[in-house]
Amino acid sequence: MMFGEKKEEYDSVSRAKLPVFQMPKYITGREAAVKLLKEKDYMSEADFWILMNRSKAGDKMLYSGLIISHNGCLKINDNLPDEQKFRPECVSVNESGYGGALVFTYMCPEQRIYEVGEVTPKNCKNEYPYAMALKRCFDRVVLKQCKLAYYGVYSDSEADEFKENPPSSSKEETQTDSKKADEINKEFSDALKRSGMAADEQIEAIKAAAIATKTDVLSAIRRKGKASLKELTYEEAEALFGTLKKKANAV
């Protein structure tokens, strides 16, 4: 098996192992990535990871797609023929795109490539929007040049969007309902209490934020490579707490 595939995957919501179902998009991307790995010795399995989502019924873990790291895209670009490499001089910036988006546009007639990399407050949660927009633009161009884009492989610079809008399921499937949000945030509350940093009113703010904004706390934790809230360090818990508190004050 490639890319750490398993027959069963642990689901942190139900706290049980679920059978894996490979979606067609994942299978297609996997085949293209395996072909690339065989042809390019500078690439490795570590440059890829599997996008996973629970099925709507909650009885399966779906392998929804294959993701390549930004570092993997850097490796590919570095080894492309000079005429196919990403050209910074072909990039322009639009700071007032549709809906207030920040857009990096790549237009290279010689390569016959037109691509963009955009960020908005909805699809970029970090404090480096320019860097993220450029990364998305760069990765999309490189994935077109190496043809992985044509097989549904995306870069991890867009992983946050996948979490909010999985390609294999509706947006509602990824959002935690009120009951589950309350259960999740009780565990989060316990984690914060153990760290000695949370007052009762702060805990209530967190619960209100998760429910009102439909924040999937577990998705945020899994993106950090953790299995549960209990594995968060003090600094990680504090950062997540701050994010949810801001959301609570906004609703």
Question: Residue 35 and residue 221: Cα distance in Å, rounded?
Answer: 32
Cβ–Cβ < 8 Å for 43, 33:
no
Average pLDDT, the chain: 79
Nearest to 92 by CA among 77, 119, 74, 114: 114
Question: Residue 101 and residue 185: Cα distance in Å, rounded?
Answer: 32
CA atoms within 13 A on the CB side of 134: 13
Q: What is the pLDDT of residue 122?
A: 80
0.75 exceeded by pTM = no
Distance of CA 78 to the CA centre of its chain: 24
pLDDT digits (tens, 9 = 90+) for 127-184: 788 999 999 999 999 999 999 999 999 999 885 645 433 344 434 444 444 555 556 5
Instruction: Judge whether residue 29 has pLDDT over 70.
Output: yes
CA distances from 196 to 192, 193, 220 (A): 6, 5, 22
